[in-house]
A and B are shown apart, each in its own frame.
Chain A
Amino acid sequence: MRILLDNFSKSFGATKVIENMTLEVGHGEMLALLGPSGCGKSTTLFAICGIHRPTGGRILFGDRDVTDLPSQARNIGVVFQSYALYPHMTVAENIGFPLKVKGMAGEDIRKEVDRISGLVHIGNLLGRRPAELSGGQQQRVALARALVRKPDVLLLDEPLANLDAKLRLEMRSEIRRIQRETGITAILVTHDQVEAMSMCDRIAIMKEGEIVQIATPAEMYTDPRTAFVAGFLGNPPITFLRGVMADGVFAIPDSEIRVPLPASVAATEGTKLMLGVRPEHFTPTGDVAVPGKVSFAETQGRENLYDVQLDGGPLLRSIQPVRHDVNIGDAVTWAIDSRNVLVFDGDGGRL
């Protein structure tokens, strides 16, 4: 089902968290609300599920205006960060609770619980209590409970934050698989760009209560609208060089570094610029050589990560296939791939 936030605003007392936000999530789409903590993404989620009443604007599920409907009347499923399983009930009772509240007959509830627990692969755990489950199993139960009454919308509030790294990887693909199989419209709230990029069709990146950009993960990575977006996406993160426009190229004052800019960039002489260089675009094979000194090196198994201190102070990050010939303190001359640099103005807007 399509979800539309139309000029949605929310404030707590005098604190305005979100002002006039408009967001549309298509039918069957999985959208990530991505942003640093305090950017209003959870507030948005709680408004969609009816726990917070919006202070302005409308919320539509399909064509139905649910702005003033209480949570109980909205038909949504929510997976909370802490899973919020009911500790005194067994797994089967937990999953069946939404149906029991509806007044469904015991026999039908059992059938539905069996169906959904098969979908999330917990059919053998139905008699256990939440305290007897591992984090990943609790996560699956929470997912089953959210899905059991066939909600119009599935909301996930940082569902992977409490899992260890291996389980996180596993549940990432599991949640995506279940979302695809059920064809449900889903919104994922997260501060982890890897989760957002790997699980969702589109990402809405938020900052201070505003959506900065909505795009598919690939678009957002290659074509970020602001320096904030560019800095948020990508791991290891992008590095920025600060400089000015001089003689048609990017120049760092008091240094030799000159980087030609893509033809699409039109900036007047002397404009302050920020040059975003992703670690994979600063390697021995680029076209603009810059000398520097390795200030930090980290091996990640398949790749090595280096921080390079350039002459004059600025820092660039480089990621390269594993090599053993470069150590901390070594002088290197690697090169920026100038066709793939991202150019921003002094305020962080993309040029």
Chain B
Amino acid sequence: MAEKSQPSANYSTWPVILALSIVSAPLVLMYAYLFIDTITDTAVGSLIPGSFTLRHWRFLWETPAGKPNIWLVTLNTLIFATSVTTVIVLVSSMAGYVLSRLNVPGRGFFLAGVMVLHAFPSVTLIIAIFIVLQMIGLYNSLIGVILVKAAIDLPLGIWLMKGFYDTVPWEIEMAGVVDGASRFRVWRSLVLPQVRPGIMAVGLFSFLTAWSEFILPQVLAPGSKVQVLSVYLSALIADDNNFDFGTFKAVGVFYIIPVLIVYALFHKYLMNIYGGGSKG
């Protein structure tokens, strides 16, 4: 992916670059103004920023009346995203192995079921989930929404992990068994290290989708003590009395910074999902 290709001598590249720049300009401009608007005051209808200000970022050190503290919300989001990631990585790394390697009864049924669940639009379940959570007392709690989000994302994780396990040569496992290791030991110390790129990819993917999840926390955990950033953001724009577009944009920027950092550090692992795993 990081290969640098020499520009071809057969044709000049600048027309291509120009065309692509024009096409992507609206996107780039939108992101630029998203950031510029958070640190400036601009007259309505003008594109030229007026004066520099930090008042849109006030939410970082002041908690407005009737709103939860931003740091509590950030912490909730972090707990939510990491817990969902942990559950998905743990379960799918084991379930993927079982579906890839062990001769369990109903294996075909499970594989088909996982596929169907992955394709199933989870929003249609939301009322039923709401009722279930309320009955078992997990409504408006982080645990409840973590479990639901993890369950909904698990099929994809399991399927991806199964794909990664499928690429690990059987001989490695045979060698391990012949060397005297139990099947669990073989999985833990011989096979699992081979699928590390898969675990990174699934973990990262789960973290990013959990971080940006909106509809589940909004419906299942809207309380101010368990709010996550996406719900906080939507409450801002839904508040007609104190409408403040600058703050809304500032929270938006604040919300995507961790995603950008994570993506910048780990994006090559995400590519593995499409690249098909490790070479033994």
Contacts and interface: CB of A to CB of B under 8 A. Distances in A.
A165 interface: no
B276 interface: no
| Interface size range on A against B | 20 to 34
Interface stretch (A4-12, A77-85, A286-294): A77-85
A101 B179 contact: yes
B178 A49 contact: yes
Contact of A78 (B169, B174, B181, B280): B174
A84 B171 contact: yes
A49 B175 CA distance: 10
B193 interface: yes
A157 B172 CA distance: 14
Contact of A82 (B169, B182, B194): B169
Interface in A70-90: 70-72, 76-78, 80-88
Given A72-B177, A72-B182, A78-B178, A84 B172 contact: yes
Contacts of A70: 177
Given A97-B179, A145-B179, A86 B174 contact: no
Interface string B259-280: 0000000000000000000001
B7 interface: no
Query: Is chain B's interface secondary structure helix, strand, loop, or mixed overall?
Result: helix
B277 to A, nearest CB: 13
B178 A101 contact: no
Contacts of B190: 86
A98 B174 contact: no
B180 A149 contact: yes
A72 B171 contact: no
A102 interface: yes
Interface string B133-160: 0000000000000000000000000000
Contact of A76 (B178, B182, B280): B178
Interface string B156-200: 000000000000010110111111111001000010011000000
A78 B175 contact: yes
A12 to B, nearest CB: 13
Nearest to A72: B180
Contacts of A76: 178
Given A86-B190, A87-B194, A88-B193, A80 B179 contact: no
Nearest to A78: B178
A264 B185 CA distance: 61
Chain A interface mostly helix, strand, loop or mixed?
Answer: loop
A51 B180 contact: no
Interface in B221-280: 280
B185 A101 contact: yes
B172 A86 contact: yes
Interface string B25-53: 00000000000000000000000000000
Of B169, B180, B185, B280, most A-chain CB atoms within 10 Å? B180
A343 B29 CA distance: 89
A98 B177 CA distance: 9
B177 A80 contact: no
A85 B177 CA distance: 13
Given A72-B182, A101-B185, A84 B177 contact: no
Nearest to A148: B179
Contacts of A80: 171, 174-175
B280 A102 contact: no
A192 to B, nearest CB: 20
B180 A82 contact: no
A167 B193 CA distance: 31
Contacts of A102: 180
A49 B280 CA distance: 23
Contacts of A81: 171
Contacts of A71: 177-178, 180
A83 B178 CA distance: 13
Nearest to A83: B171
A82 B181 CA distance: 20
A322 B190 CA distance: 54
Contacts of B185: 101
A72 B181 contact: yes
A94 B280 CA distance: 14
Contacts of A51: 174, 177-178
25 contacts: A46-B174, A49-B178, A51-B174, A51-B177, A72-B177, A72-B182, A76-B178, A77-B178, A78-B174, A78-B178, A80-B174, A81-B171, A82-B169, A84-B169, A84-B171, A84-B172, A84-B175, A86-B176, A86-B190, A97-B176, A97-B181, A98-B179, A98-B180, A145-B175, A149-B180
Lowest 9 CB-CB distances: which A-B pairs, in order? A84-B171, A84-B175, A98-B179, A88-B193, A71-B177, A80-B171, A101-B181, A101-B180, A78-B178
Given A82-B169, A84-B175, A97-B181, 5 more contacts: A49-B174, A51-B174, A84-B174, A86-B190, A98-B180
